[in-house]
Amino acid sequence: MAKTGGADEALNRVNANSKPSQLRITDMRVAEIIGAPFTSTLLKIYTNQGIVGLGEVRDGA
């Protein structure tokens, strides 16, 4: 059996009952990384449906 890198497990955890029209951001956490080759900001977004999103913000220059 070929390894799928956890994709099957991730698909099994998908909530098919979410209601996008009722989705609301409930919290946002921000962390700034300084001292690496560049400064980077990490974001973590929380929603009322238990969905959590991660993002990165960088200066494109």
Q: What's the predicted TM-score (pTM) here?
A: 0.60
Phi, psi dihedrals of residue 36, rounded to the nearest 5°: -80, 180
**Nearest CA among 23, 18, 60 for reference residue 45:** 23
pLDDT of residue 9: 82
pLDDT, mean of residues 31-60: 88
Instruction: Dump pLDDT digits (tens) for 9-40.
Output: 887 877 777 677 888 999 999 999 888 787 88
Q: Is residue 60's pLDDT more than 90?
A: no
Phi, psi dihedrals of residue 50, rounded to the nearest 5°: 80, 10
pLDDT of residue 28: 97
What's the half-sphere exposure (Cβ side, CA atoms, 13 Å) at 54? 2
